[in-house]
Amino acid sequence: MSTLHTVNKSPFERNSLDSCLSVAAEGATVLLIEDAVGGALQNTAVASTVSDAMGKGVKFAVLGEDLRARGLSAERVIDGISVVDYAGFVQLACDHDNVQNWL
């Protein structure tokens, strides 16, 4: 059983990314959308948290449209995090057995 988790709140304001990572298991994917896209960037206060989770087998993706809407370049995204569009979001939902939206 694998789960797609979506997080939509900034990890610099809220703790939903931490809550999500406390239960995300190996094989899960965490998709960062809306205000959470900042969590996918290099050299931030949460970058090591994200990298640690990746080391434990949790995959990460970020919604490219929401990065661009905030003027953030995909070049600043942590290595290993895939940048997806809405079709990619739909595909991730298909590829996992469950979807958990952290609001």
Partner 1 sequence: MKFAIQVNEGPFTHQASDTAYQFTKAALENGHEIFRVFFYHDGVNNGTYFGVPPIDDRNVQQQWSELAEKHDLDLVVCVAAAQRRGIMDEDESKRHGKGTSNIAPGFRISGLGQLIEAGIQADRLLVFGD
Binding site for partner 1 (CB under 8 A): 6, 8, 33-35, 65-66, 85-87, 89-91, 93-94, 98-99, 101, 103
Q: Is 24 helix (H, G, I), strand (E, B) or coil?
A: coil
Nearer to partner 1, 47 or 89 (CB): 89
Q: In whole angstroms, how close is the CB of 19 to partner 1 at the nearest point? A: 15
Least distance to partner 1, CB of residue 98, Å: 7
Cα separation, 18 vs 84, in Å, equals: 22
**Residue at 91: amino acid letter:** Q
Residue 8, Cβ neighbours under 10 Å: how many? Answer: 19
